[in-house]
Amino acid sequence: MSDMLQLTITTPTAVLVSEANAYAVRAEDESGSFGVLPGHTDLLTVLPASVIRWHSRDGATHYCALRGGLMTVENGRHVAIACRQGTIGDDLAKLEAEVEAMRAAETDAECQMRVEQMRLHARAVRELMRYLRPGRMGANDASMPMGAAP
């Protein structure tokens, strides 16, 4: 077993990070923040919008802001993160602000989606009420004699 991690961070269109000499990776999922060291057990987890940190062999700390993704750890050495969007940077405060903006945008999108779902539901109920209104053809077909005109 190696004393280093191989870290790969990809988007659908690019490889953002391909680091063969990382000795620690720090990430965050819905359960909280966690670290990965060489020899870590296999893992599969979903990452929300967050900042990934890793330390390379030379002691430098690197950062990548993610717009959510999927992280796997295999064989205690291979750490792979597939994300929708990512930004590499050295300014942690700036990247954390970017993540907060991503989270706010996701929250706004979720709110808009809920509002639209409520509108569609209300429209469907109104249509059903209109259809089932007494006296409307089709609503009380069973009470009309066969062949009778409304």
- What lies within 8 Å, CB to CB, of 73 at 6+ separation is 36, 40, 41, 42, 43, 79
Same domain flag for 66 and 112? no
Q: What tens digit of pLDDT does each residue of 108-121 get?
A: 878 889 889 999 99
Same domain flag for 75 and 123? no
Average pLDDT value over all residues in the chain: 85
Same domain flag for 96 and 113? no
List for the chain the helix, strand, coil content (%; round to 5).
Answer: 30, 45, 30
Same domain flag for 116 and 55? no
Please tell me the predicted confidence (pLDDT) of residue 24: 94
Same domain flag for 115 and 100? no
Mean pLDDT throughout 131-139?
A: 71
Please tell me the predicted confidence (pLDDT) of residue 86: 86
Q: Is residue 116 part of a domain?
A: yes
Please tell me the predicted confidence (pLDDT) of residue 62: 93
**CA–CA distance, 150 with 145 (Å, rounded to integer):** 10
How many domains does one find in the chain?
Answer: 2
Please tell me the predicted confidence (pLDDT) of residue 143: 52
Please tell me the predicted confidence (pLDDT) of residue 1: 47
| This prediction's pTM | 0.67
Same domain flag for 46 and 71? yes
Strand extents, DSSP E, 30-133 = 32-36, 43-56, 61-74, 78-83, 86-89
For residue 43, which of 61, 29, 63 has the smallest C-alpha distance? 29
Number of neighbours of residue 36 by Cβ within 10 angstroms: 20
The CA-to-CA distance between both ends of the chain, in Å, stands at: 83
Q: Is the pLDDT of residue 28 over 60?
A: yes
- The two tokens of residue 65 are 């802001």
Q: What tens digit of pLDDT does each residue of 65-83 get?
A: 898 899 999 999 999 999 9
Domain that holds residue 128: 108-135
Same domain flag for 59 and 39? yes
Same domain flag for 60 and 116? no
**CA–CA distance, 38 with 57 (Å, rounded to integer):** 12
Strand extents, DSSP E, the chain = 5-10, 15-29, 32-36, 43-56, 61-74, 78-83, 86-89
Mean pLDDT throughout 21-31?
A: 92
Please tell me the predicted confidence (pLDDT) of residue 45: 96
Same domain flag for 11 and 57? yes
Instruction: Report residue 138's pLDDT band, with 50, 70 and 90 as the boundaries.
Output: low
Q: Is residue 65 part of a domain?
A: yes
Domain CATH for 52: 2.60.15.10
